[in-house]
Structure 1
């Protein structure tokens, strides 16, 4: 299996360096989708690793590579402003990363979002504890979707709160 990962990483690096991206016309639909997916995971992983190194995150046991393929990953600063959102968020709720950067995750909430669940999440954040919750969120187009969220505080090497990270998927 590690050969496939190395292969995917090599393809992503190769294609991200190309100025002209071409593939055979007969395989355009699925080949392009696959390459875009691999490239986006690679780019997201690089961004996350850069954020982690820059902020001196203490070691964690998350498998970010798998998470970026299967879930939406969102990172906020301590003031809960989004500083990173993975590319696959667009598939889940219609938002691109550029549309949510600098905003609070409350952008995904609305009338149907449970106030008690939001309060429980807020309490976990204040207490700097991990949480797992299912919430009703809103897509960019206004439709409601059920979202399972696993959130964690992230501490730096000195043990100080640095960021929050959430792994989300439509339930």
Structure 2
């Protein structure tokens, strides 16, 4: 393993996350990344799509949409604390977990348009390799009616697998949960 460049080790983080702490430490101790610096191969893409101003604009648009939804559904929640976290996609579902809104990042991450996703449950992203235990854990955590974080194996529109970390926040109207907000991050 010592001869591999970490940049070429796709899935290493996923593999390491599946191990217990003792096993993880054993593998990490054996990894010796090369001391070379990989050349930047996609500057044009990075500079065009990931500039701080673009990210700030996206977050601003997401915040504005969430505030409109909050007014529509009379939510009492401080989105600024949530929205300032790192995420690739936002998904809002109703209490039956049917999607009512996604941000543009959802399309970028999954390949599914907002119009396709609306009315569906997020489980449409799951597939044959998605862990049953993870699906059960998510259902149980939703029942607790508290924010939580969970990692799950999902599938993009082209059926490519990807690991997704979801942070789910129950949203309340008059003290009763009526919706859920999920911040989703693709794990590389």
1:60 is matched with 78
Equivalent residue in structure 2 for 1:81, among 68, 87, 98: 98
1:61-108 per-residue CA deviation (whole Å, 9 max, x = no partner) reads 5445535x7431111000111011110112211112111011100111
2:68 is matched with 50
Q: Secondary structure at the match of 1:88?
A: helix
Distance 1:65 1:150 in 2: 11
Map of 1:109-148 to 2, 5 A cutoff? 109-148=126-165
Native 8 Å contact 2:94 2:179 kept in 1: yes
Q: How many residues align?
A: 142
2:115 is matched with 98
Rg larger in structure: 2
What displacement does 1:44 show? 2.9
Q: Which segments of 5 or more consecutive residues in structure 2 lack a partner in the other structure?
A: 1-43
The alpha-carbon distance between structure 1 residues 132 and 32, as it changes in their structure 2 partners (threshold 3 A), is closer
Q: Which moved more, 1:139-148 or 1:70-79?
A: 70-79
2:182 is matched with 166
Native 8 Å contact 1:45 1:64 kept in 2: no
TM-score by length of 2: 0.66
Native 8 Å contact 1:133 1:150 kept in 2: yes
Distance 1:129 1:53 in 2: 22
Distance 2:127 2:186 in 1: 16
Map of 1:16-27 to 2, 5 A cutoff? none
TM-score by length of 1: 0.72
